[in-house]
Structure 1
Amino acid sequence: MINNVILIPVEVNGLQLKFLLDTGVSKPIVFNFLKASDSLQILNAEKIEVRGLGNGSNLQALRSSHNVFKIGEAVNKDQAFFAVFDPDLNFAPKLGKAIDGIIGYDVFKDFVVQIDYKKKHIKIYKPERFKYKNCKKCQSFDLTFNYNKPFLSAKVDLESKKNIPVNMLLDSGSSDAIWLFENDKKQIVVGTNYFTDYLGAGLSGSVYGKRSKIKALKLGEFVIKNPKVAFPDLLTVSAVQSFYDRNGSLGGEILKRFNCIFDYPNSKLYLKPNSNFRAPFSYNKSGLLVEHSGVRMVMEIDPYNNPTISFSDRYHVNVSGVIKSNYKYQLKPTYVIYQIVPDSPAEKSGLLIGDRIVAINKKLTENMSLDKLNSYFFQESGQILQIKVDRNGFERQFKLTLKSPLE
């Protein structure tokens, strides 16, 4: 689990890769293709174009068929996937971990898949061996499919109207909570309290829009109060909105509040709330967006390799032993600011895009994961962050006070 999304190991034609598990994707996509090209066999390939969310153009890709995919003990000996050429299509900096591709529908279509977000565990069942156990806190939902994408009926309460029915894509590959597509006829409109933001990276480029909160999301009898919502730019989503008759999507920040059982063969979804269910929704209160930017060599003291010096007598000092270096060299991650929200605490503090964050509150970021670093930005309003950065080879210190963008 990284930033509300799931990474799983997938073996492709004998090569171990790491894939993002995305219920909103039809065919697997390998977009770390150039790195793996020496080892990964691309079988029976034909050129095609791929279109996804974002403000860019279509992607050139290869469609490869008759591949062997293995996840745990589940094996598909006739799997197709898309291999994308664009070297700029790289989600690793945003996640802080290497990721080789995306997989979705083809994992779920033949199995019953149970995702336990709290235990970070996935179980895959053959449908004929799966028996659903009734429980008081559980609910079942009917799924519909459009071009192999799963949709769920829900209701939302907005400022202007309550109980608006919406057709939502189940999108475990999105780290957000809810996306809604503005629609005047259905009275799906952004409220008066919002801010404009970068929403993320799609297959066809960056996605921008407005962020806000709504009064409630209703999934059957489950009511999730005051969830976060993003309203993506209409031009970005116009194609998928009309193509799939879709009003939005439910992402990882909603799904992680449940133990989820996806039964695609019977078009069912089972949800059981976990301890995350009532967790509050929080925004990045710094205005900083940070990404992993490679590694650097760091020299550290090695406590297990101390200098050894021996003396022949107390009057004549002769080094008869060998002085061992008590330092070791390690590769440590570096993190760089890639976006700053206008009029945010970060912008007002003087921080700039391209600054490399060295430390936060006197703690070195080289010892943090990207998730840990980002957690500082989601603390309570009023918290003060002391941020040391490397700017063009010179270290500088900045101070900012966290403030919710919706205050």
Structure 2
Amino acid sequence: MKRTTFSKYLAFLFVIFLTAQTHAQFLGFRMSTGAKVIEFPFERYNNLIIIPVTINGRVTVKFILDSGVQNCILTEPLVASLLNLTYDRTITFTAPGQQDSILAHVAKNVQLKLPGIEGQGISMLVLDQDYLNLSNQLGTEVFGIIGYELFSRFIIEVNYDKKVVKFYEPNFFNPKKYYEKVPLIVRGTKPYMAAEITQKNGTKMNVALMVDSGASHAILLDQSTSSLIHLPEKNLEASLGKGLGGDIEGVVARVDKVKIGKYSFDDVIASYPNEGSYGLVPEEAERRNGTVGGEILSRFNHIYDYFSQTLYLSKSVEYQKKFEYDMSGLEVVAHGTELNRIRVVNVRENSPAKRAGVMEGDIIKTVNGLTITNTSLNFLTTLMRLKKGKKVTLRLLRNAEEVKVTFRLERMI
């Protein structure tokens, strides 16, 4: 073999070796097609962004895209059993809610795939039990949460108008000029932003809020972080949602104004967790006064750019929508093996539903003549905050008997 031919042959082998090494050493997420931008549709339930995730090439399930979560979490241990996941270790940690500690198993070297995006060598927390009951809360089968691993790798655009999410390679991202830039501070694995609130007592306050796409509320204000946070006299006791540690109890009320950059919202509903219910560790409490969630974020088409520490905002079609809270007094969940029944789990005292005779445990069969299906939980919760004075007729199943009730929606805060 001539020297020049032999040299070319060695070079060819070296390229193959490097290519093999590159593929062997690939960890984390990348675009599987070599594209610079990947776009795919998302589903929206209760202001949450739901995306498909395939685990180990075998099972595709729905995950919440959550900017407030550090680790990828599989919330349903039965899915882990089907996949025969092996665990490296077991850990305990604290999280918002009433429970003191959460037990989870750590699965390593997990493969995750989103449309056009693949991840290798991912560490995933598998909860010991389904603490969140996401499927029942949302009315569709959701079995996981994913966040920082994606936000730290890509620039991510959420377009609520088109119901699509876009992932950009950071070096190939050029924001449109019509986006408003809002500074985003990424500390540890979580994004924070500044906002100004005008409270019902007339005081203005600058607050630091974690940007939490995994929360449904507008804003949450934690009184334990500042003596300046004022709880309005007119408020309503409520279950504010579920954290990994269980139910987060507190009250809801209104603040006069929330200002983010050049944008301003009036008469915003704010959540105030009870002391001890939110469970912030001391260093977290020092960083933030609360969170901004999907009820405000959905009023923008927005882009998370952790690399330049910027949140890009552009008004969505929902920007002018009024902030409303449930006007019925009902707390409901999806029920049954196919999530095609809606069960009443709580009825607020002195509420329209309570006065009409709705009881905990009732199964809602029809709403204003429309039969309930597994897609109707979103419809029902939206209807119950739609318009003051709207007439609602429910046909209920109670102890094998049908009961019909009628009431009108009332604005309670």
TM-score, structure 2 as length reference: 0.85
The CA distance in 2 between the partners of 1:206 and 1:367, in whole Å, is 23
Cα 1:392–1:232 change in 2 (3 A) is same
Residue 215 of structure 1 corresponds to 256
- Equivalent AA in structure 1 for residue 409 of structure 2: L
SS in structure 2 at match of 1:61: strand
1:146 and 2:187 aligned: yes
1:199 and 2:240 aligned: yes
- Equivalent AA in structure 2 for residue 32 of structure 1: E
Cα 1:363–1:74 change in 2 (3 A) is closer
1:338 and 2:345 aligned: yes
1:70 and 2:129 aligned: no
Shift of 1:92: 0.6
Shift of 1:240: 3.9
In structure 1, the gaps of 5 or more residues are 296-330
Q: In the alignment, is the contact (CA less than 8 A) between 1:160 and 1:187 conserved in 2?
A: no
Match of residue 285, structure 1, among 315, 324, 327: 327
Q: In the alignment, is the contact (CA less than 8 A) between 2:76 and 2:144 conserved in 1?
A: yes
SS in structure 2 at match of 1:191: coil
Q: Report runs of 4+ in structure 1 exceeding 4 Å deviation.
A: 183-186
Residue 221 of structure 2 corresponds to 180
Cα 1:64–1:131 change in 2 (3 A) is same
Residue 29 of structure 1 corresponds to 73
Residue 396 of structure 2 corresponds to 389
How many percent identity over aligned positions?
29
Q: In the alignment, is the contact (CA less than 8 A) between 1:360 and 1:385 conserved in 2?
A: yes
Q: Comparing both structures, which one devotes a greater share of its residues to helix?
A: 2
Cα 1:213–1:404 change in 2 (3 A) is same
- Equivalent AA in structure 2 for residue 70 of structure 1: K
1:374 and 2:374 aligned: no
Match of residue 367, structure 2, among 357, 360, 372: 360
1:61 and 2:104 aligned: yes
The CA distance in 1 between the partners of 2:260 and 2:352, in whole Å, is 36
The CA distance in 2 between the partners of 1:349 and 1:74, in whole Å, is 51
- Equivalent AA in structure 2 for residue 63 of structure 1: V
The CA distance in 2 between the partners of 1:44 and 1:356, in whole Å, is 40
| Structure 1 residues 184-232: Cα deviation after superposition (integer angstroms, max 9, x where no partner) | 8551111121111111111001011111111111111111111111101
The CA distance in 1 between the partners of 2:112 and 2:182, in whole Å, is 29
The CA distance in 2 between the partners of 1:261 and 1:66, in whole Å, is 29
Shift of 1:367: 7.5
1:275 and 2:282 aligned: no
Match of residue 232, structure 1, among 265, 270, 273: 273
Cα 1:63–1:25 change in 2 (3 A) is same
The CA distance in 2 between the partners of 1:111 and 1:133, in whole Å, is 17
Cα 1:401–1:162 change in 2 (3 A) is same
Shift of 1:344: 1.0
Instruction: State the superposition RMSD in angstroms.
Output: 1.8
Residue 309 of structure 1 corresponds to none
SS in structure 1 at match of 2:373: helix
Residue 310 of structure 1 corresponds to none
Shift of 1:175: 0.9
SS in structure 2 at match of 1:374: helix
The CA distance in 2 between the partners of 1:213 and 1:29, in whole Å, is 33
